[in-house]
Amino acid sequence: MNYYPHHIGDFNTRTLHLSRLERGIYRDMRDLYFDKEAPLLADKGRLFRLLRITTPEEIEAANAVLGDFFVLTASGWEDAACAADIQAYYDSLEAASAGGKAAKKKREEAARLAAELAAASQSTLDFVEQQNAESASTVPEQYANSSGTVRDGANQNQNQNQNQNQNQPPATPTLSVERAGAATAVDLSIAFRKEGVQTQPSDPRLLTLAEQGVSVETVLAACAEGKKSKPNGGVSLGYVVGILQRWAGEAKVIQVAGALPPARAAPGGTASAKDQARQETLDGLTGIGQRTHERANNIIDITPGRTAAGVA
């Protein structure tokens, strides 16, 4: 170790009882301990020679320091404080190494994901360009029959249009208005990856989902259902697509047009006063109440011929 932490306050507290000579010898012993990263030599003669301790006064001070701070073991003179600092040093190195490896792995993953997103964006752009090219190549029959006329008119303005096109950059294909703001294949791929489903933004299935307007929220819900069905893992893109297809099929068969709430009844099975009043109003408008609740009116036939015959 070329460096070790020297806490002045702790050192002063531990060495207040030492003389200036003893403090200096103790500091030299600590430097040697950290430099070798091992206990001091058990042989005092060799140890004192390394520390340049020669005079009787220095030898006496060194023996006092060894007795106060060190313990003689089979490995040599050990200092518990020095041993703890060395262990903490190696622990920090190991933690820094693990953190460095994790940071490196994170950087590599970010670079890989960025490359995949760039490739997916290019794939999406190529897909849109292909769709636009196919749409442009489809010409209605009535316009195909008059292609000669169109070509003649185009030849007349060819020079003028050519000059204008040289000053204008080519148009970049864009998504339709209906697709504006919808989730892209990249968005869906990121959502799948967050749920642990490995996908590539350039996957044709993702491009199809994005083209059909599937939202990120729908994808997350389908992934959640897939995890419930397979709690031990193994949820793939095809499995989630199957869930989305099942949901779409169930939605198609739902018919709720014209659904009305059931008629409300008062306690005891009798109609409430409000419902009865509404029914009477409806019966009055349709004539049902007259036929049901009123007596039939007496109708007098006042036809002239029939009246005279009746009188006679």
Tell whether pTM > 0.85: no
Q: What is the mean pLDDT of residues 137-166?
A: 55
Task: List, in sequence order, every residue forming a beta bridge with 73; answer none if it has no partner.
Answer: 76
94-151 pLDDT, tens digit per residue, is 877 766 677 777 777 777 777 777 777 676 767 767 766 766 666 555 555 555 554 5
Query: Token pair of 141, please?
Result: 């029959």
d(CA 197, CA 159): 55
Whether residue 38 is contained in a domain is answered as yes
**Within-domain flag for 166:** no
Q: Same structural domain for residues 247 and 204? A: yes
User: In terms of domains, do 127 and 190 share one?
Assistant: yes
Contacts of 125 (CB under 8 A, 6+ apart): 173
Q: Can you give the pLDDT at residue 38?
A: 92
Please check whether residues 130 and 246 belong to one and the same domain: yes
| 141 in a structural domain | no
State whether 71 and 189 are in the same domain: no
Same domain? For 117 and 202 the reply is yes
**Which of the residue ranges 14-18, 43-47, 220-224, 264-268 would you say has the lowest mean pLDDT?**
264-268
Mean pLDDT score of the chain, rounded to an integer?
Answer: 77
For residue 301, being part of any structural domain is answered with no
pLDDT of residue 297 exceeding 70, the answer is no
Among 247, 236, 246, 176, smallest CA distance to 200 is for 236
pLDDT at 292: 53
Pair of tokens at residue 151 = 């070509």
pLDDT at 182: 73
Provide the domain limits for residue 66.
8-78
DSSP summary character for residue 62: H
Domain boundary among 217, 251, 285: 251
User: Number of folded domains in the chain?
Assistant: 2
- 172 and 124 in contact (C-beta within 8 Å)? no
Instruction: Say yes or no: 122 and 190 in one domain.
Output: yes
Whether the predicted pLDDT of 253 surpasses 80: yes
- Name the residue type at position 250: E
Count of positions (residues) in the chain: 312
Considering just the CA atoms, what is the radius of gyration of the chain in Å? Answer: 48
Residue 200 lies in a domain: yes
Give the separation between CA 20 and CA 23, rounded to whole angstroms. Answer: 5
Domain final residue pick, 59, 78, 97: 78
Q: What is the pLDDT of residue 312?
A: 47
Rounded Cα gap, residues 290 and 306, in angstroms: 29
Distance, in Å, from the CA atom of 307 to the CA atom of 301, rounded to the nearest integer, reads 8
